[in-house]
Structure 1
Amino acid sequence: MSDIPTTIEVDAAANRASVRLRTAQLAPRLISRSSHVVSVALVAAGALLLPGDEVSIRIRVGAGCLLRLEDIGGTVAYGGRAERSRWVADIELEDGAALVWAAKPLIVADGAEVVRTTRARIADRSALLLRETTVLGRNGERGGTIRSRTLVDQGRHPLLAEGLHASGAAPQPGVLGGHRVLDSVTLAGIRPQLRTVDMMMLEGPAAVARHLGSHTHDSPLDILARTWADEAATAWNTRQENTYDPAHR
């Protein structure tokens, strides 16, 4: 257990973006970078998540930058001791920045108790694509307990604030019911062009699509997640062109 967060910070530069990475429970690895576009992979630095583990990741994308973040593998939260494990992601997008993060599934095994919090603060001209998938139990298991919160603010205005409390050992109608997979894709900062019956438009420039099922491979959100990621990147690129167009100086 460590109080030091895994850190990813990106800032634009003339030739190659400035990228600062710090390893804790997760190890960020630089894949590629240009002056404004950076790709980073996240890998586990050790066994995760064990009871009592506290994983924290801080992501800051500087003005005008696009960060593509990739998970190399999913995460299994293990049971065995009566201790909660915690996963906290803190995201900050500065003016004209974008983050595309289609995270791999979090599997909550029998006996595990997980608290997961995702907080994002985005500037007015930034865009965020976030995919989070929760699976109750490994194959043949009912699954442990998950308490999750997702908070997205744009400037001083909240775009999304929601919570989930579900247990594979005690399924509740109106929560996940008999389903063990919750797949969720959030697009914030822009309104999506591709819309489906599984999504809801939020009051601000944001939308959330969800799917409940029994297996991750049954989710119909793969295409939507890729399309929304492209839309976020396109919006970022358009804003860059408008920012640096001589007509806008």
Structure 2
Amino acid sequence: MSAPLDGDRLAIEAWVGDGARLTVGSAAATIALPGPGPAAEPATYDIELSVGEQGGLCQLPEQPVSAHGSALRMTTRVELAPTARLVLREEQILGRHGERTGTFTSRLTVRRAGRPLIDQQVAYGPGAPQGRDGAVVLGGHRAVGQLLVVDLAFSEKCPEARLLGPTAVLTPLAGPGVLVTAVAPDARLLRRALNEALNDVLHTPAG
């Protein structure tokens, strides 16, 4: 969808009950655009997710694209029961073809059994700390992504930290989960890298 515009407020909430399974996707990319006039404040996009005991959630949306001149703050908060399972993919595309990125901030917070599992934030574009406009920090790459997999089975045997190709790395978390972080020149190659990482972690074909 061609939204949000500067100042818009979007929110999505989803609850997965005990023993239920849910896969959430989207029909197309979300394009953050500048508003018609001087931006008074950035747009926000808040996602709230909750998964009950023995429940499973696959959160696999299409990529948000940060168009030049836009300003977007995304937050994703997830509450997991102790036996819940989660596959969550986040991607950020920094600018449309041939243009610089807008200002993009994304924060991911996941709590399992009431305790923090991961809390991280990334920021790119004008005004981002340390000049993170994609050219220097990302080595010229314009697509960034994270894949988080939380599974109780990792309590017994968790994948070890390692590189997954030249531009992706797998990191085990202090809990039954792993985080894959990847960069790529474009959205297609980023999706390929994350799909291959998901296949590597789960030993099943990536969708």
Bin for the TM-score computed over the shorter chain: 0.7 to 0.9
Structure 1 unmatched runs, 5+ = 1-43, 232-249
Residue 75, structure 1, aligned to residue 48, structure 2: no
Deviation at 1:189, TM superposition (A): 3.5
Instruction: Tell me the distance in 1 between the aligned counterparts of 2:99 and 2:139.
Output: 15
Superposition RMSD in Å: 2.4
Which of 126, 143, 159 in structure 2 is aligned with 1:181? 143
Deviation at 1:223, TM superposition (A): 2.3
Deviation at 1:225, TM superposition (A): 2.8
CA 1:229/1:78 → structure 2, altered by over 3 Å: closer, same or farther?
farther
Give the TM-score, by structure 2 length: 0.81
Which residue in 2 is equivalent to 1:212?
A: 183
Aligned pairs (5 A) from 1:25-40? none
Residue 222, structure 1, aligned to residue 180, structure 2: no
Moved over 4 A (4+): 172-175, 192-196, 226-231
Which residue in 1 is equivalent to 2:173?
A: 202
Give per-residue Cα distances to partners, 1:98-133, cap 9 Å, x unaligned.
101211111000011110000000001001100010
Deviation at 1:209, TM superposition (A): 0.4
Larger of the two Rg values belongs to structure: 1
Which residue in 2 is equivalent to 1:4?
A: none
Secondary structure of the structure 1 residue equivalent to 2:13: strand
Instruction: Tell me the distance in 2 between the aligned counterparts of 1:141 and 1:152.
Output: 33
Q: Could you tell which deviates more after superposition, 125-134 or 206-215? A: 206-215
The answer on whether the counterparts of 1:66 and 1:97 sit within 8 Å (CA) in structure 2 is yes
Give the TM-score, by structure 1 length: 0.68
Sequence identity, in percent? 25
Which residue in 2 is equivalent to 1:162?
A: 120
Deviation at 1:164, TM superposition (A): 0.9
Structure 2 unmatched runs, 5+ = 164-168
Instruction: Tell me the distance in 2 between the aligned counterparts of 1:125 and 1:147.
Output: 30
Instruction: Tell me the distance in 1 between the aligned counterparts of 2:199 and 2:30.
Output: 21
Which residue in 2 is equivalent to 1:153?
A: 111
Deviation at 1:60, TM superposition (A): 0.3
The answer on whether the counterparts of 2:93 and 2:144 sit within 8 Å (CA) in structure 1 is yes
Instruction: Tell me the distance in 2 between the aligned counterparts of 1:95 and 1:150.
Output: 21
CA 1:174/1:161 → structure 2, altered by over 3 Å: closer, same or farther?
farther
Deviation at 1:188, TM superposition (A): 1.7
